[in-house]
Amino acid sequence: MTILIDELFGALRGKFQGELIRASDPEFYEAHKIWNAMAQRTPALIARCTGVADVQLAVRSAAKAGVLTAVRCGGHSLAGFSSCDGGLVIDLSRLRQVEVNEGSRRARFAGGCLLGTVDSATQKAGLVFPAGVVSHTGAGGLVLGGGTGWLTRMFGLSCDNVEGFTLVTADGSIVHARVRENADLFWALRGGGGNFGVVTEFEVRLHPLTSLLLATSFCVEQDILRVVDEWRKFMPGAPDELKWNLSLRLAPIADNLPLEIHGKPVLSVALAWCGDSAEGSRLADHIFSIGKHVAIAKEEISFLNLQTMADADFPHGRRYYTKSGYSINLDDRTIQVMIESLASIPSKNTQIELAYLGGVAGRVRASETAFGDRSAPFIINLLADWSDATEDAENIAWVRKLFNSLRPAMKPGVYVNFMSGDEQDRVHEAYHERWERMVKIKTHYDPENFFRMNQNVLPSSNPAANSTD
């Protein structure tokens, strides 16, 4: 690989406008870090692009030299797909321009934007792009995989709100994908991840919103079951304005929580309501009347506050491992298994996140996007979070064991952005009935599987080209 990298460096030097950072350079250590320390890899070269021409040059040169290449936006891939060992990272972090058209409620943003970059720009016009819940997440990976968040039920997935993509494909060409231009590619990019090229620009629809009602609380002991039970019954008929998320975890050591529950199993309750405030407040009060809730908070907050309030809970550089699945119904046994698993949870930061899709996102037909079937609305996401590498095995084993016992109640399928790096065998499951169409489009745009550091769809032309070594 060293010879190939030297060849690549030689091809880029003098022509590439951005920074070329090699492993021997002092800035390499900071530049090579990704969010999940457990998935950290060590590339040989980082090409920090300044524009589309840099992306084209990097793609063409790396393809010619046969260098393994990863594409990085926010670097938040849980699987660590924004880096690779011994190869090239095409780093998009300098491509963060956002252009908002208030009148048409549209925006264009560059392929390296973080969610926070997009939110800050769109909020100046009182508009929102529905995306994820942590502002330091990259918009590139999140939108291409689907994109769920507080506004999913009200306005759809992030990918449902994309009207156009501009990308650099594996041969270095610039290609546009819209509903009437390369329609197959447009379909595939909405849920298909980074398989098809480097997206340098997203054109998206925006919606008017500047604040919403947020209500939070915690429940303990038998009230955990009562509230989860109410949630699973209530959500299928809930208004689109409501996003009600639950999280099973150990209670954090926090001033607003009674001392006696610190470190004990709790249910964390969070509701965001983006409709009439008084109606949302009544709804929250109703939910808080089920069982006993502590640390109740209810306030109208700005959208920007909502989008940044979880940032510190998911810091860069910790160790994370996840497994996820969908369920049509949440049966009693599944709930019981999840609650009981809290007794053996190895890390105080680990969470079992429960979300309900539905709403506008749930009404998009399965055939419309590569994201596909939305008919199993319960999302169960096991997210282990710890800091000491010597505890990797214990934390991973806990997630795997719990996932295996929940699996019988899950419908086949998984959201690609919540997958770990050891789940390539589930990529087919993620796209199941859409697989053949995905393979056809992949084969057309990337026959040599140049873009393989992702939840990889193998082209039929070159099924052997899947090595990431």
Contact between 192 and ligand FAD by CB under 6 A: the answer reads: no
Nearer to ligand FAD, 114 or 127 (CB): 114
Encoding tokens for residue 138? 């990259």
Instruction: Using the minimum distance from each CB to ligand FAD, give the nearer residue, 142 or 441.
Output: 142
CB of 34 to ligand FAD, least distance (A): 6
Q: How far is the CB of 424 from ligand FAD (least distance, A)?
A: 12
Span interacting with ligand FAD, options 128-136, 238-246, 387-395, 427-435, rule CB under 6 A: 128-136
- The angle formed by the CA atoms of residues 467, 186 and 449, to the nearest 5 degrees, is 15
Q: Which of 133, 170, 284, 382 binds ligand FAD (CB under 6 A)?
A: 133
Nearer to ligand FAD, 69 or 341 (CB): 69
Please, which residues bridge with residue 178 across strands? Answer: 164, 181
Of the candidates 78, 82, 101, the one whose C-alpha atom is nearest the C-alpha of residue 93 is 82
Identify the residue whose tokens are 């004990």.
Answer: 264
Helix segments in 277-426, DSSP class H: 277-288, 303-308, 332-341, 359-362, 392-406
| C-beta closer to ligand FAD: residue 258 or 317 | 317
Residue in this structure with the two tokens 């053996």, named with its chain if needed? 344
Only segment of 75-83, 335-343, 360-368, 438-446 that touches ligand FAD (CB under 6 A): 75-83
Between residues 220 and 430, which has the closer beta carbon with respect to ligand FAD?
A: 430
Our finding on whether 73 is near ligand FAD (CB under 6 A) is yes
Taking the complex as a whole, the smallest distance from the CB of residue 225 to ligand FAD amounts, in Å, to 26
Sequence-distant (6+) residues with CB within 8 A of 10 are: none
The answer to whether 438 contacts ligand FAD (rule: CB under 6 A) is no
Does position 191 interact with ligand FAD (CB under 6 A)? The reply is no
199 sits near ligand FAD (criterion: CB under 6 A): yes
> Could you say whether residue 43 binds ligand FAD (CB under 6 A)?
no
Enumerate residues 136-155 that contact ligand FAD by CB under 6 A.
137-138, 140-142, 144-149
Q: Is 81 in the site for ligand FAD (CB under 6 A)?
A: yes
Binder to ligand FAD among 18, 43, 116, 194 (CB under 6 A)? 194
Q: Which tokens sit at 460?
A: 């039929």
Residue 74 or 291 having the CB closest to ligand FAD: 74
User: Which residues touch 171 (CB under 8 Å, ≥6 apart)?
Assistant: 60, 63
User: Which helix (DSSP H) or strand (DSSP E) does residue 212 occupy?
Assistant: strand 211-220
Number of residues that bind ligand FAD (CB under 6 A): 36
Nearer to ligand FAD, 402 or 457 (CB): 457
Of the residues 77, 308, 334, 369, which one makes contact with ligand FAD according to CB under 6 A: 77
How many Cβ atoms sit within 10 Å of the Cβ of residue 460?
12
Other CB atoms within 10 Å distance of the CB of residue 1? 15
- Rounded to whole angstroms, the Cα distance separating 357 from 425 reads 25
Q: Contacting ligand FAD (CB under 6 A), which of 61, 82, 122, 268?
A: 82
The least CB distance from residue 201 to ligand FAD, in Å, is 9
Pairing of strands 265-273, 106-110: unpaired
Rounded Cα distance, 155 and 137, in Å: 20
Residue placing its CB nearer to ligand FAD in the complex, 9 or 371: 371
To ligand FAD, the closest distance from the beta carbon of 47 in angstroms equals 13
Phi and psi (nearest 5°) for 127? Answer: -120, 160
Q: Are 89 and 194 in contact (CB under 8 A)?
A: no
**Which residue stretches of 235-271 are H helix?**
none
- Smallest distance from the beta carbon of 92 to ligand FAD, in angstroms? 6
Closest CA to 107 of 223, 19, 207, 210: 207
Nearest-angstrom CA–CA distance, 435 and 457: 8
Tell me the C-alpha distance between 378 and 322, whole Å. Answer: 16
Q: Which of residues 329-368 bind ligand FAD (CB under 6 A)?
A: none
Is the Cβ–Cβ distance between 35 and 80 less than 8 Å? no
Among 314, 394, 412, 424, binds ligand FAD (CB under 6 A): 314
Q: Which of 43, 132, 172, 325 binds ligand FAD (CB under 6 A)?
A: 132
Q: Which residues bind ligand FAD (CB under 6 A)?
A: 35, 70-78, 81-82, 92, 111, 132-134, 137-138, 140-142, 144-149, 193-194, 198-199, 314, 417, 453-454
